[in-house]
Copies of this chain bind each other. A is one copy, B any other.
């Protein structure tokens, strides 16, 4: 492990000053052609590579963006990361990763690490348990821009990229109505989630557009565990006007619900039709895949978030970015 060659070393060997070497390597106009050549050749010979850590330090810029997500192994987030990394790489930025495991403490710790690393900016999807936002405020004070992503805090002045579930839900319900279903159930997620509220809003909107009255008993909520979903299903199926179609909060819920229905001897796609929200790339391999699902484009969201951040970095005076992608119903041709 011989010490890597530095500009100084090149300067010494060529009997010129370090500044000349630096400028020569940058093709600065004030350096003569001869010298440029000599420098560049020697640099190539020595396999010279600029020490980025020195440059980062000197330029006060790291060309690194931090990404903090709840769980790297979840399909939704890993697709998002992929989008982030691709877009960042395309602009010569690197990506520093952290996962909060949905814990506030860990999230704060990662924010701190990222701050110390002097990342140029951050993309964050906040942890479920995070109630206190002071760590985000501290980032703002430090002048580090943050683009929130998917799970966004309830604050006014922030940049964010998210996916609006309303449109997709409207399409989903309309689709079912078009197929003749008149009693449509919904298994929603926890009420406090924005995502849940949007789903319900979409549901109501679609009903209203079709001049059907909104029956609140048809919208039940699950805590997203298998048991929660089973309970939700039992509630729905025991209604006197019981649904012939169900919109499930996500693919996991849908799969659990399907299994429950099967156990109860319902014929899927005859007695009971399912529509879901896409989390899993392969839900169509399942026994009874939903007939359609609302796609959230995590990869694209990741890209957009990165784009937004890069724009902010390029122009720090840029106004608050509030990017909303529309979810979209994808019909699964069998």
Binding site for B on A (CB under 8 A): 1, 4, 47, 49-54, 56-57, 60, 62, 64, 67, 71-75, 77-79, 81-82, 85-86, 89, 92, 94-99, 106, 110, 113-118, 138, 141-143, 252, 255, 259, 280, 282-283, 285-288, 299, 316
Contact = CB atoms under 8 A, between A and B. Distances in A.
A85 B62 contact: no
Contacts of A118: 51-53
Nearest to A298: B73
Q: Which 4 A-B pairs have the closest CB atoms?
A: A1-B143, A287-B287, A78-B78, A73-B82
Contacts of A74: 78
B81 A73 contact: yes
A53 to B, nearest CB: 4
A155 B234 CA distance: 58
A49 B115 contact: yes
Contacts of A114: 94
A3 B191 CA distance: 42
A264 to B, nearest CB: 17
**Copies of this protein, total:** 2
Given A72-B81, A286-B286, 14 more contacts: A53-B117, A67-B97, A72-B82, A72-B85, A73-B82, A94-B96, A94-B113, A95-B96, A97-B97, A255-B282, A255-B285, A280-B282, A285-B286, A286-B287
B89 A78 contact: no
Contact of A57 (B54, B282, B283): B54
B86 A99 contact: yes
Nearest to A143: B1
Q: A50, A86, A110, A285: which has the most chain B beta carbons within 10 Å?
A: A285
A280 B57 CA distance: 43
Nearest to A51: B118
Given A52-B117, A116-B50, A75 B75 contact: yes
Contacts of A255: 282, 285
B85 A99 contact: yes
Contacts of A280: 282
A332 to B, nearest CB: 14
B85 A89 contact: no
A98 B113 contact: no
Contacts of A57: 51, 53-54, 56-57
A74 B114 CA distance: 26
A118 B55 CA distance: 11
A64 B118 CA distance: 13
Contacts of A73: 75, 78-79, 81-82, 299
A259 B280 CA distance: 19
Nearest to A56: B53
Contacts of A49: 115-116
A71 B62 CA distance: 24
12 contacts: A47-B141, A53-B57, A54-B57, A67-B97, A73-B79, A77-B78, A82-B99, A89-B110, A94-B117, A255-B282, A259-B285, A286-B287
A166 to B, nearest CB: 26
